[in-house]
Amino acid sequence: MTKDSDGGGLAQRLLRRATGAIRDAIVAETKEKGASYFAQRLSEHFGRDATTLPVIGEEVPLREHINVQSAIDALLARKGRAFELVGVLRAMYGSSDFSSLLQRESPLFGGNSPSLGPVQYARFELPDGVAVRSVENGLFLVRSTEHAPFAVVVATPSENQRYLNTFTMQVMAEDPSHAEQVLSELRGFMRERSLYRGRVLSLTVENHSHIAVRFHTLPKVERAQIILPEGLLDRIERQTVRFSQHADKLRAMGRHIKRGVLLHGPPGTGKTFTAMHLASCMPDRTTVLVTGRTQGLLQQSCQLARMLQPATVIIEDVDLIAEERTSAAACNVPLLFELLNEMDGLAGDADVLFVLTTNRPEILEPALAARPGRIDQAIEVALPDEACRRRLIALYSDGMPVRLESVEEIVARTEGASGAFIKELLRKAALVSVDRGADEVTDDDVRASMHELLVDGGPLTKALLGAKSSASTS
């Protein structure tokens, strides 16, 4: 060992000793002031009075709890970083953000400041069977070989405060710019590493107030399963699938990427089935479903899609929220304005596709349906023509032992019927066949099934299955 290197090592040891003495003095001083355990730990971590340090944070949607943990994991995995995780036991009436951690303990109501406790995790199940854990209330003390130390706190609300649907994520550092930099890193990781990305999702309300994310697994719908008039599916795919495939080239040409497609037509013609096919064709996109009661979470659903773009938002029965506002029966005008605002608020280069379906296009609000930039193309999915009905009979007979000698009779008698009706017709014919002990489905089985659906079932069954009055009952 040379003299110079020995002197350098001595200098480093003296510096560490001096730094340690300063830390000990600061911790001793905070103890004398009656500071909380966390104030002492933070002061020791930074080597100065933590109550004087800046804190930058933000309120995060509670549904993003799972992704905050993913972002923190990525942040801590950076080279040269080491950390200690301290568990925080939330007080009954308090929070566990930095302000609460630094305040003195209070004897009132059993104490309203947090205390040291075990690290508690929330458990989330992903659709592929993988379970992930997220810290509910914890303090991350982070050291880095390249930067000054910093700390991150995650503070989720108690059960009786989950109606707020947000939680606190804060960063403490020696200067505000460093804290903002760390927070910016966390935001970036939340977008990049989101566990929602590329999945099929919907939002739901739990316990009357808490907004949660629900995962869905849609069946893979092949192109051959979509029976539409010649060229119609190609038009739909051009505006959706191929648009998505060429998004980068279109951006380079200065074309906007956000777009909307309206599929309209009678019930049972395959609008929802077609939307599922589009989702199958674009597995790299996040799909957000808005149906039924979740239409009340329209704004939050669109925000989720915007964060996870490229994304597709599928809104079924859009007429329920986008009925013409001058209609005497219109009752969802606030939701209509939310939809218009969300579609207008997207930047031109936002890769968000809206696929809307409706059985009643005639009552749609013109501001939605007749303005480019919201709905770029309205495509009618009509009742199947003769050629389509023939293909539907073949599709829904596939896999069954059949001996149909009068296919053309079935085609003729199902004029005015939807694809859903033909599917049920063949399903019921199979049941009739099995019920009589036969080994195959015959014309008589189909005729009996037709009579049961159109005559015995009455007008309501016909309406539910999308069969018009023109469907033959004889």
Residues 310, 469: Cα–Cα separation, whole Å = 43
Cα radius of gyration rounded to whole Å, the chain? 31
Q: What pLDDT is attached to residue 5? A: 44
Topology adopted by domain 214-380: Rossmann fold (3.40.50)
What pLDDT, on the 0 to 100 scale, is given for residue 107? 47
Question: What is the CATH code of the structural domain delimited by 386-464?
Answer: 1.10.8.60
Contact 167, 58 (CB under 8 A): no
Number of residues that make up the chain: 474
Which pLDDT score is estimated for 47? Answer: 92
Instruction: Return the amino acid letter for 388.
Output: C
The C-alpha atoms of residue 421 and residue 465 are separated, in whole angstroms, by: 5
Place of tokens 């018009």: 468
Per-residue pLDDT of the chain (474 residues; tens, 9 = 90+): 334 445 555 555 554 554 455 455 555 555 545 568 899 999 999 999 999 999 999 999 999 999 999 999 999 999 899 999 999 987 766 678 898 898 865 544 445 678 899 999 999 988 888 899 999 999 999 998 888 999 999 998 877 777 788 888 999 999 999 999 999 999 999 999 999 999 999 998 887 778 889 999 888 889 999 999 989 999 999 989 998 888 888 888 877 777 888 899 998 899 999 999 999 999 899 999 998 777 778 888 988 998 998 999 999 888 777 655 555 444 455 667 777 777 776 666 778 899 989 888 877 767 665 565 677 788 999 999 999 999 999 999 998 898 888 899 999 988 988 999 999 999 999 999 999 888 899 999 999 998 888 876 666 665 655 666 555 555
Give the pair of three-digit tokens for residue 75.
Answer: 């942040």
Q: Which pTM does this prediction carry?
A: 0.79
Q: Find where tokens 């859903």 sit.
A: 420
Smallest Cα–Cα separation from 256: which of 365, 379, 343, 198?
Answer: 343
Query: ∠ CA 129-131-133 to the nearest 5 degrees?
Result: 170
Question: Could you tell me which residues are beta bridge partners of residue 57?
Answer: 170
- Residue 382, Cβ density class (10 Å: 0-12 exposed, 13-18 middle, ≥19 buried): middle
Asked if 367 and 275 count as a contact pair (C-beta separation under 8 A), the reply is: no
User: With contact defined as beta carbons under 8 Å apart, do 389 and 297 qualify?
Assistant: no
Residue type at 337?
F
At residue 333, the pLDDT reads 57
